[in-house]
Amino acid sequence: MSTDQLRNAPSTLPMQAVPTSAADSANFPAGTYRPARPAWGPGRWFRACAGIEEDVMDWAPSERLKYAGVGIIVLNTGCLAAFAMFTALGKVISAPAAALIPVSLIWGWMIFSVDRWLITSTHGMRGTNRVLVFIPRIVLAILLAFTIAEPLTLRIFQNSLNTQVATTRTARLDTYESLLQTCNPVSGKWVAGSACVGNHLAVADSPYAMQQKLATAKQQVADLKPIVANDMAQLRNLQTTMTDECAGTSGPGLTGHAGYGPMCKADKNAIDSYGRQSDVTGKQAQLTAAQNTVAALIPQVAAAQQAYATQLQKAIKTAVTVKQRDLGQIGIIDEWTALEQLSSQSAFVFFGHWLLVLVLMALDCLPVLVKLMGGSSAYDQLLADQIASDERVHAIDLRLREEMATVDKEVEIYLLEMRKRERKQNEDRAERVRNAQGDTDGLDDVRILAAKWRREG
């Protein structure tokens, strides 16, 4: 075969056409043991979910049901992932269910694609390295399974978790309301402290200033009452002494002489002097004014305190309502927290929760586990041989293409080397001729010189 014929030859030899549809399969030669007639039922689609090459599977038709089951498991995992994402999104995003379906389907498709790759990448593996190859795939499958299993677990425990979240939120709101009442007393007095920072309510018409005014007036009354009573008692004693002296009443310290005498006049001056010094009249006026102030402020303070208490309760209820609204609907974080609380309170819930998680994770990891536990199948052996054959054919084809691409260049190189050798040979012959001619010329010179010497001698 010439070089041009090699260059134009096909890189691979023609093979018998493989049926690509049910109509082509009907024309497939009957009575042939292997390969078997291609199957076009639902199992073919399920096997495609497991990444099966049907042209190889036709040589091991007994493996069809097995790998169809593997494909169903991969498909089920994708469906579980989609449902888990739908559940998780429903707890995180406030949106209609129809709006969550596309995102859930995309997530399910992603998990399905990854699981399909995990299974497909293990086809054709044999020997001890097979287990080592499965280890990173199992780790990845476990991580994916955890993201799928946890939302499904929350979905199963949803009623109990909602009750726990409601109880926890009620306790938090009660604590918050109690804190507001402590930091905002009915008296209107400002309460300092780190716990009350950010928890003071702005309520108008605080009765605290009026209460302080009432307390000051009451304190003034309490301070003046004994002083005025003592001064009035002393003044009454002096008046009694003056009356007895001026009336001529006999007794200790009395003259017994009636009339406005010196002693009577002295007693009267003592009364006037004591009144001026003690300022009984002024103190009595102060006491009366303070008592009137107290009498006027008591109903005002009561009314102001009642109005303030009503406004304060409304403000507290409004703050609690805002706090409750800020909590929003029950989310996935709330349910996780509630699940931790229930697990810490009950060993049954703790073990039940993790048992359910492990079961769901086992279901999610089932495609890889089934492939690992199933061992090396006839399909794996055939596919490994097919891959090895493809590598050999590719190596031979690559070598053929390399030879075809370099044959002309190699011929040119060969011709150049031939020319090089021929040129070297010609140069060598010319050099020898020149050397031979040089030797002859030297001999003639010697002969001439010898003849000259003979003539002279």
Helix residue ranges per DSSP H, 184-279: 208-247, 262-278
Angle at 90 between CA 88 and CA 95, to 5 degrees: 140
By the 8 A CB rule, do 191 and 182 touch? yes
C-alpha pair distances (Å), 266 with each of 244, 278, 281, 453: 13, 18, 21, 197
* pTM exceeds 0.85 for this model: no
Per-10-residue mean pLDDT, the chain, length 457: 44 46 53 71 88 86 87 88 84 81 91 85 70 72 74 78 85 86 77 77 69 75 79 77 73 69 74 74 78 77 73 82 80 80 81 79 76 76 84 90 86 88 84 68 65 71
- Beta-carbon contacts of residue 204 (< 8 Å; ≥ 6 apart): 311
Rounded distance between C-alpha atoms, residue 206 and residue 309, angstroms: 9
pLDDT for res 6: 40
Rounded distance between C-alpha atoms, residue 75 and residue 77, angstroms: 5
